Structure 1
Amino acid sequence: MKFYPSKLLAVVLSGMIILPLSTFAQVETSAFGNGYTPVASVSAPQAQIVYYRSAGSNEKAAAHVYVDGEYQAALLSGGYTTFCVAAGSHSLGAWVNDAPGYQGKNQQPYRDTLVAGKTYFVKVDSGNNGRPLTVSREQAEQELQGLKQQVHTLSRASSVQQCQYKASQYKDYTLSGDVLFAFGKSARRDVSGQGEEAVRQLVSQIKQGTVNVNHITVTGHTDAIGSASANQRLGLQRAQTVRRMIIENGIPARSVSAESAGSNEPVSQQCSGSRAERISCMAPDRRVVVRVDANRLE
């Protein structure tokens, strides 16, 4: 693909009316949907685009995304949109401070041929006059962690289609957090010898049981002891360490991503008593789940 490398003016798509910042302030809380999760592969003859805007952007105006000169989404900082088109020649772009001239609607200088069955990860580059910036899946999915789907406007792009996804074949493997790490630890140097062997055996099982490993998602889970933010961070750090170990054992880095569920998905029930008793009772919650998907990466 040859595309190169907040409070907001909200877009209401009834006649592309632009509302003032004060109006957007009232709807900002409903501007985002669910957080990003890795996308599945689409079936030919479609191509899929994940267009996103990194969190922390200083720009206060929307990045208007256009497909073939027609409006798709208005991305805030920390937002993304996913859509599909028929494979073939299309123009893409995202313009910040687009009103009132609507450059993206009137100019489509960045065009390329999108391949059937392929997913493109495209990042808003606000300093490059609308030009889309394509990045690798690995880079994109690291930056997409914590980003949320942009849902406050509707697409008007006639070439955008409902995505037709391939059937996914998942298999989950669960590693005990207490086998892998000492309590509260997460670094590579903290992995026990028993944990090293557990990951080696896991990778061996994956290689033996899967003809074509397309993607592996490593999710860190914690118990409910401590703050939610600390648990979210610990879960991610543990997942990143296990991801590194899986790569060390021969799985390509581009095929493995890491994420955290924190303490949001416990499996223990009604743990009470002293802190030591609760730690023991919640041991099943401290785990790393490795999900193998045979139909994700292209």
Structure 2
Amino acid sequence: MRTRLKFLSAGVLAVALTGCATQPREYWHDFTSNKIVSEVAENDAALVFFRDASGPEKQAVNININGEYLTSLQPNGFSQVTTCAMPQRIGAFLTGTDNDYLRKENQGSFYQLPNAQVSYFRVSVGENGQAVVTPVDEETARAEINTRKYQSNTLPRVEKKNTCVDRTQPRTYTLDASALFQFDKFSANNVLPKGLQEIQAVARDIREYPVRIRAIEIVGHTDPQGSVAYNQKLSAERARTVGNMLVQLGVPANLIQARSVGKSQPVVTGCAEKHKGNREAINACNQPNRRVEIKLYAQQ
């Protein structure tokens, strides 16, 4: 007798157990015979991902677009999605290969997608166990996809509105200083694990930016508590530390300018008056003011 148990997860896997089996195995289903939609509206781009026969037969490859989950491809499966015709970051990884989800969400390479056209990407698994995404021409892709089936076994999280950000325009990252550094500290030795992950993610973005960057401005901010001189120094040191870490992660040093504005540019005001005498509430209210901004400026 065969018993089937269905588990909903990021991959929405169905696990099949046979009567004498001791270990569950991935059992995928829900293929359809959907055809590729070739008509694409103006200002849109269609992306078709198809997997070849490489890699483990029972291990899917998850596809991300700008960190958002799209699908889990089995060998000989394909999937299609519509985005805005702007640079999109595409990443792929084998299910269950590691648990570093922040890295997974930020991995991949940017691709400039042609307006009102379909772009095709072959998904393979190399000998090192790493998933690889390769752009291919339409004729080659359609010949291979002709023998494949459309995968409809997962719920995509890619929202088209989130793909319509113009990545060729200046971009600003706002990092919470409380998550970056230990309290009242500023050196690289005092960077918190979450802060290190955020800086690493920004460095990856900068290295993969789809257009040339002419400048990177790093600005340190503090909350209004304390003297002007103290806050100016603290925010300057924090901006300098973040800049040095980006350089160590492969960002060109000649692009970076670090400066401090101390407590002169708060995003929240009046915390001390609103929570008079309650130091904990004042600190919580002021949290958005304690930040490091990384501003990218693209070449025109």
More relative contact order in 1 or in 2 (CA 8 Å, sep 6+)?
A: 1
Q: Shorter-chain TM-score: what band?
A: 0.3 to 0.5
TM-score for both structures, normalised by structure 1: 0.43
